[in-house]
Amino acid sequence: MKDDREHAPIARKLCLLRLNRNVRLRSQSPYEEASYNITRLSTAEETTETGIRIDVTNLRLDIGRSHDKSFRRPALWIGGGHFTNLLGNLMTFRLLPLTIALTLVAVGSMSFSSRAALGIVLKTCEVSYELSGGAFPCLKVVEGKVPLSSYAVLREPTAGERTIFTPLSALSAIEDPRLLDPATPNYFAMAWQERSLGIPATRQAWDDAALAINAAIFRTQDHLHIHIGCVKPRVKNALARSTISAVRFERLKLKLEGQLYWALFVPGDGLASVNPVQVVASEIPGAARNMKGVTIGVIGGEHPDGTRGIYILANVMTSLPRHPAAAEDLVDPKCS
């Protein structure tokens, strides 16, 4: 039998999931359906001699105060029986891993209506990964060996067709000054390597893939994330008709989804040699001084001379832009 103290790191990680605000559990969340199929984890066989007592009220979702008729308490399936109204009660479990797994399911069902929701969902993925090696409710979790290099890939809880790449570390967004540090990982390069998780197998041609990060005025979460999907056909066609420099950023003459972008073509199979955030900050006028107003798109394609590579597209806006742009508009998350 393992000593209870061996579970202390897991217990400390659980403390990170403490919620101090009302959060809705939406019945349409794709994670809620999954919550009805939880049985047992292999790690659940590791019990302690005295059992583990865990105060679930520390992880309470304040569900009693909502008057929304679509709002309901979660029901969790455990080997043939339902435990309803799990959260908000003090319960004793002999199996700490199973207890945490149930908590992860409930917290994973929360909506993205809170600007902090993404960070909280990421914590559930971390705990799940540490317990079982799985990434639920994320699609994938990777623990890096250097600072800021750990990341996850997941689908938004309220928009199942949207796939996002996000670091596990608490980076606010594109304006986080650490992104301009040469020692910070190249998140666009990492997201490009994981693009298959957001693109159907039938649409994984090089020039179908697209990534995007929005400016501050368009984002819904205060945690850095990159959208993964397919480039919209009309955007793909517009780029094919444009002459884009492989030396320096130049303004496109054609609008993409109604907006003008700066563009640069990077030859090669990836972004290992170019960090889009840093090259935009250093080469586009006004970008470094106003990173909150920067939106960046990364799209695979071919140069007119037949060279395969990646287009880096960027728009820099003021705090109150007349024509606001969001690189996410260049991406089709459904790859339809």
Three-state secondary structure string covering 229-266: EEECHHHHHHHHCCCCCCCCCEECCCCECCECCEEEEE
Strands 91-93, 140-142: parallel, antiparallel or unpaired by DSSP?
A: unpaired
pLDDT, tens digit only, all 336 positions of the chain: 344 444 444 444 444 443 333 333 332 333 333 232 222 232 332 333 333 232 222 322 222 222 333 323 232 222 222 333 333 332 333 334 444 454 444 444 444 456 777 888 888 898 888 888 888 889 999 999 999 999 999 987 655 578 999 999 999 999 999 999 999 999 999 999 999 999 888 876 778 999 999 998 888 888 999 999 999 999 999 999 999 999 999 999 999 999 999 999 999 989 999 999 999 999 999 999 999 999 999 999 988 888 899 999 999 998 777 878 999 999 999 898
User: Residue 280 has which token pair?
Assistant: 């935009």
CA angle 42, 44, 46 (to 5 degrees): 105
Domain boundaries 169-332, corresponding CATH code: 3.30.428.30
134-166 b/e (C-beta count within 10 Å ≥ 16 → b): ebbbbbebeeeeeebbbbbbbbbbbeeebbbbb
Instruction: Say which residue the tokens 């600072």 belong to.
Output: 147
8 Å CB contact between 26 and 111: yes
Strands 209-213, 91-93: parallel, antiparallel or unpaired by DSSP?
A: unpaired
Beta-carbon neighbour count of residue 129 at 10 Å?
Answer: 20
Beta-carbon neighbour count of residue 45 at 10 Å?
Answer: 10
- Region class of 326: left (phi > 0), else alpha (psi between -120 and 50), else beta: beta
285-296 b/e (C-beta count within 10 Å ≥ 16 → b): eebeebbbbbbb
Identify the burial level of 205 via C-beta atoms within 10 angstroms of its C-beta, where 0-12 means exposed, 13-18 middle and 19 or more buried: exposed
> Of 79, 80, 130, which Cα lies nearest the Cα of 104?
130
Which amino acid is located at 6 in the chain? E
Residues of the chain with CATH 3.30.428.30: 169-332
